[in-house]
Amino acid sequence: MKLRTLFTIVFVQASLLQNVWAFSTRRDVDITGEQRIQVRVNSFGYPLEEHFVQTADGYILAVHRIPHGRETGDTKQPRKIVFLMHGLLCSSNDWILAGPEKGLAFLLVDAGYDVWMGNARGNTYSRNHAWLTPKGSEFWSFSWHEIGVFDLPAMIDYVLEQTRETSLHYIGHSQGTTSFFVMSSVRPEYGQKIKVMHALAPVAFMSNAPSPFFKALAPLVGSAGTMEKLFGSHEFMPNSELFEIGGSLLCKDEALTQDLCANVLFLISGFDSENLNKTMIPDIMAVTPAGASANQIIHYAQGSSGKFRFFDYGLVKNTFKYGSLTPPEYTLQAITAPVALYYGNNDWLAGVKDVQELAGKLGNLLLKYEIPFPKWNHLDFLWGISAKELVYDKVMEVMSAYP
């Protein structure tokens, strides 16, 4: 599929949303994006805490915690710690949208875990900084490299300090796996703080990703000017009232355009209509996209090189920053934490061949588990109808073996 075709699809959707905006300025819920997770979690009878963590380079990140379930109350009995990290353009909302009995955060807390959910710099909940502002370009001068080097260590250290524990289980989805591999390669000492890293839809290598979007971008990667024109150099797709209103009107069950909404998700992640609960689409669009830096997208596009490496700034800046014309590769062999890989055969972003290559280079591979459903795609790991039975039960089985 040509890049022009992909952009046409995106522009058609944007035009529809603009029409919705023109005819409706009423919000279905009178709460801000920042409040939504609190309201949703509390509505199910669970407590939610919001903590703030400052990174070494000044970003102030929100970490959400569900300390116990509905029935257990505010018990002082120690609970096992698990840290969840979202993917690209997402937030901690990923883990709770499906609700109790379905959402991973709720399943874990009901199983006796103390659940902490991170938010990367630049998303809906992490748009503050000690001295920079999101209105300035310097705030957005990062990719998922900095999320791995600065954000994850700061949040993990904070969680362990607050709970007085020495290690935790880590569950990441998509970019939440990429940033972990960065952290564990560049700062391998964090391996001792991880009981098991559970990688859902793991992304490191991307040269075999079936995604038509990334295939279309691959020829443009060498041209920094073209990539910047496409994505800009600042924020990329922040959370917007436009998406929320459009989702609530265009993607609801009664809407004739609901299938268009579903197809946009499938174009990103892979087609699997059997596992998509279409009723959830307005809820998904109310909180996603949650914002990111354009460099995060560009860094992934650079994966078409077939290598998992630092951000490529171009020959001149690479020489100044790295001392070489090309960026260095991440040393996956240096990762000491046990890693369990969970992948789908129909994932358009974490291709099977790329996952196989990752598995062969990890320093401590614990498990490589293919989801036993041939159409399982990238977003099914979060919101698939069968996610509990096909993924989460297996994850919790592995977790119970490493208490």
Q: Among all residues, which ones are annotated catalytic?
A: 174, 347, 378
Residues 6+ apart with CB under 8 A from 15: none
Report the C-alpha gap between 302 and 223 in whole angstroms: 11
Report the C-alpha gap between 190 and 181 in whole angstroms: 11
Q: What is the dihedral of CA 78, 54, 104, 110, to 10 degrees?
A: 20
Q: Would you call 342 helix, strand, or coil by DSSP?
A: strand
DSSP states of 230-272: HH-SSEES---HHHHHHHHHHSSTT-TTHHHHHHHHHHHH---
- Name the maximum alpha-carbon separation found in the chain: 59
106-129 burial, b at 16+ Cβ within 10 Å, e below that, comes to bbbbbbebbbbbbbbbbbbbbbbb
Task: Give the tokens for residue 295.
Answer: 């460099």
Q: Would you call 16 helix, strand, or coil by DSSP?
A: helix
Report the C-alpha gap between 264 and 118 in whole angstroms: 26
DSSP states of 105-168: HHHHHHTTEEEEE---TTSTT--EESS--TTSGGGG---HHHIIIIIHHHHHHHHHHHHT-S-E
User: What sections of 3-45 are H helices per DSSP?
Assistant: 3-23, 33-43
Please, what is the angle between helix 258-269 and helix 241-250, to 10°? 120
Sign, CA torsion 82/62/137/5: positive
Please, what is the angle between helix 3-23 and helix 241-250, to 10°? 90
Q: Would you call 361 helix, strand, or coil by DSSP?
A: helix
Please choose, from the candidates 83, 89, 41, 98, the residue with its C-alpha nearest in 3D space to the C-alpha of residue 384.
98
140 half-sphere exposure, CB direction, 13 A CA radius: 21
